[in-house]
Structure 1
Amino acid sequence: MKDLYHPAEPSLFTGRESANRAYLHENIRTVDLRSESTPPTGKVPALFGYACDEGVRRNLGRPGAAEGPRAFRRGLGKLPWLQEAPDGLADAGDIRLDTDRLESAQQAFSEGIAQLLRSGYFPIGIGGGHDIAFAHYKGVRTYLPTGRKLGIVNFDAHFDLRSPGDAPHSGSPFFQIARTCEQEGFGFHYACIGVRRDANPQVLWDRAKELSVLTVAREELLGSALQASLKKLKTFLKRVDAVYLTIDLDGFSSAYAPGVSAASPMGYSPWEMMPLLDAVLGCGKLVSMDLAELNPAFDTDGQTAALAGSLVHRVLHYPGLF
């Protein structure tokens, strides 16, 4: 991990000054993963960047997400720090890839996630391509006791169940996880929320069915279908012991998230997915999360970075999570 690890840059967090730490940038503390640190008191969230878009390039998407972690931090610091917030937010720095060694970046990120969890933090990964998910899963699985069932909830337009072939990429993380689960004797418990019929070929729908993926299609977030979708997700959450949450920002409509690797106007709105997100946040089993595909090269007026920041702000202030 050491050759790809870059410590946190506090200067990225800026905003208004206050007398009572009223803004997020005034509540940041750094954690250096290269050295032993004092464990936090209670459950403290920790940002951890995955500055890598080699997986996006391999998957024929738009490069630029490697700058996502820095763009995210620049927007996040300005947000208010409210009464429900935890006792501070840690920043554990980034894994940055300057070559095409995607697998090395995934291994380093995995090690960092496991280290943060062992130290008592709640990791919030910031991508980078959605290949962050395979790395993040490996870190969480390393940390959890062998007998615990790990559920994965993915808000996304895509299943990301493509075969990796000889070169894993941003479209293959959950197929890689399924294969790893089979090899290591773990169950594969995967829910994909907001997946679109115009964004996945038939082979991926078939593969999702074969792997018993809980699928909530884009149209099932609307109207009378929402309650049935909530019920399915809550049943899924009850059947696992721990939950890893991942949010691919390309699941949102490009009206809200233009700065992603694969933008589309047909995605969902933030408020359409919020009831299901809140179900995950409130399940009592969430151990780690990330956001993926923030691509500032295409982010008109910083809208996508603002969306990502608002989502994390909601997580930080969710009652009882910290």
Structure 2
Amino acid sequence: MALLFMDGFDHYSFNEITQKWTARDSSSIYSNDIKPTSGRRGGGALLVGSSGGLYKSVPARATFILGVAIYPVTMPSTGGGQPLFELRDGSTQQIYVFIDTAAKLRVYRGGGVLLATSDNPLPVATWSYVEFKATIDNSVGAYELRVNGQTWLTASGIDTQNSANAFANYACLGISGANDANIYYDDFYLCDTSGAANNDFLGDVRIDVLVPTGPGTYQDWTPSTGTDHAALIDETAPNTTDYLTGATPGAKETLTLGDLPVQGSVVAVQVCNYLAKADSGSAKARNLIRSGTTDAYGPESALSTSYVYNLSVYETDPATGNAWSTAAVNALEVGVEVAQ
């Protein structure tokens, strides 16, 4: 796998942030929030203020590529600026990108070692798509920073490692600083270089949420009310007052989805099932997609009595082994299977 994670901030609210991300800097809604209509195309966006940011735990890798749309609402006027995103080894910064009070972008090695500053400022009150590729190493480290597809900063054969390890295992957005900035984030992706595809810059991507619209091939789970399975789980921010329940190992549930809003190439599909167990004892589930007559599964996940997003990324269509087409995504069924 090369595409590890993506988020368009369209299908959940402030209360569910840590059910999709690993952690956040602040529990205050004034420091980080999901704004449901502030995104690039009228959908959701993450708003980060002066003391909030999100952390995502990822497999330890030397090289990562990330991209995110950024809209500075107000620029930092104190503290010299604000980190936009970081790669960390645990709590130790390895390398990060920073926006200063003049809206110029800086690349730092952890510990505050400035590596470069852009000639151009990032436009304020305008969406820009910013991408960053970095390799963590004491001597053969490298980075490249792109804005709207153009290289702004790049270097190789340098020291980009601040911890004892030549890797990062956390990607972080909007980490707090002593400043008064407000910045929107949208359409975030994170890749490594481990796979045959999606192992370099993806360019300016859009992330669209498709919600259940009707029954699929499998209808083994039980609705909490009524008979319309899709109607119980079609909210873009979760509503757990109604739900589907699966109890028997092997019980499957799939549903059809709405169509993609535009035609075009599809990088990947990410399934986001909002799951919890209902009682004591062990319970496991795994995500499921059905393309044509082919079923494909995500890894088994142990559930707790607290809800969490169970995420699986599918970079190719399991029915063909090739890249997704718009038609294949529009015909896709998505669901879940009880594993234990």
Task: Give the TM-score category using the shorter length.
Answer: under 0.3
Question: TM-score if structure 1 supplies the norm length?
Answer: 0.27
Determine which structure has more spread, i.e. the larger CA radius of gyration.
2
Q: Which has the higher contact order (CA 8 A, sep 6+)?
A: 1
Question: TM-score if structure 2 supplies the norm length?
Answer: 0.26
Larger relative helix fraction: 1
Larger relative strand fraction: 2
